[in-house]
Amino acid sequence: MSAPADLESTAAEVYAAPRDQFIATRNRLAKAAKTAGNAALAGRIAALGKPSQTAWAVDRVWWDAPDLIRELFAAAAELREVLAGGAGPQTAEPSRTRHRKATLAATTHATDVLGGDVSIATRRHIATTVEALGALGRWPEPGPGCLNEDLDPPGFDSFGAIPELGAATAVPEAGANDSASAIVLAETTVRIATVRLETCRQQHDALVAAQREADARVEEAEAALARAGSHRDACVVAAAATARDLDQRRAELEEAALAHAEASAALAEAKARP
């Protein structure tokens, strides 16, 4: 077995392995690095954290279908550029649609990795991590497909990248009355507001979708509860009928036992006669 060359390639091998083999793979590679005399790398490999179930599912999107992640990054970058350029809602809609489709595709693949039938909370963790990954525009260290925990949801300053004010868009100094400067200030304010609006819209849409899914699950649970109630009522009726039958059979058994005893006594008496 060749010695690990660097942390990123080694981490890729560790995180690409099945989740239940993570610890064994990590320890084997850390030992190989130590044996090769690279104690520093061995320590960094040993420090790699086992991914949570949801982080591992997002990692699998990269290892199974990397084009989905590449499209997520490209769509998010395009949307950031469009919003930062001051595009209005109609102009930005194609980019917004592309970004939503890319986010949904990656999220769906990740949930399918876990079997598809996952809880609302699990689906929300995956969707948030995918959206945050797109907003970040790159994989965090130690490299692609190596998340070990969920990412925080993107805020105003992450997705959409609130534009920095450079020389061309500097805010006018206090007291300036120049109309051109006022226009620059207004345009900058509009761009920032647009980015914030888009971020809020995306978070709102995600919450609405989660709420709808939660409502659907509640309806399913209520229907199942109603079915269970009906089944319980039927079982109660059947149990009552069985109890009545049992009481009747018990009485018949007592009567039969008494008749048997009387017949046995009569038989014995008949045999005793001369």
Instruction: Determine the pLDDT at residue 244.
Output: 87
pLDDT computed for residue 208 by the predictor: 76
Q: Please count the CA atoms within 13 angstroms of the CA of 44 that sit on its side-chain side.
A: 14
Rg (CA), the chain: 35
Residue 170: its pLDDT value, please?
36
The pLDDT value recorded for residue 184 is 54
Sign of the torsion angle spanned by Cα atoms 156, 157, 158, 159: positive
Query: What's the number of CA atoms in the CB half-sphere (13 Å) around residue 7?
Result: 14
DSSP per-residue string spanning 77-88:
HHHHHHHHTT--
Say what the pLDDT of residue 168 is. 35
**Under 8 Å between Cβ of 153 and 128:** yes
At residue 79, the pLDDT reads 87
Residue 164: per-residue pLDDT: 36
CA dihedral defined by 207, 212, 214, 215, rounded to 10 degrees? 140
Give the pLDDT confidence score for residue 172 in this predicted structure.
40
Query: How many CB atoms are located within 10 Å of the residue 241 CB?
Result: 10
Say what the pLDDT of residue 152 is: 84
C-alpha span between 240 and 172 (Å, rounded): 86
All residue ranges of the chain with pLDDT < 70 are 1-4, 87, 116, 154-196, 198-199, 202-203, 206
Burial 63-91 (b: 16+ CB within 10 A, else e): eeeeebbebbbebbebbbebbbebbeeee
Q: Tell me how far apart the alpha carbons of residues 33 and 3 are, in angstroms, rounded to a whole number.
A: 6
Number of helices (H) and strands (E) in the chain: give both, helices first.
8, 0
- The whole-angstrom separation of Cα 205 and Cα 64 is 28
Give the whole-angstrom CA distance, residue 169 versus residue 217.
49
Structure tokens at 98: 């592309």
Indicate if the alpha-carbon torsion angle 114, 99, 81, 158 is positive or negative: negative
Please state, in angstroms and rounded to a whole number, the distance separating the CA atoms of residues 269 and 55: 89
Encode pLDDT of 141-199 as tens digits. 999 999 999 998 765 444 444 333 333 333 344 444 556 555 655 655 665 566 667 66
- Give CA–CA dist 194/259, Å, rounded: 96
Handedness of CA 86, 87, 93, 98 (dihedral sign): negative
Closest CA to 79 of 59, 58, 101, 61: 101
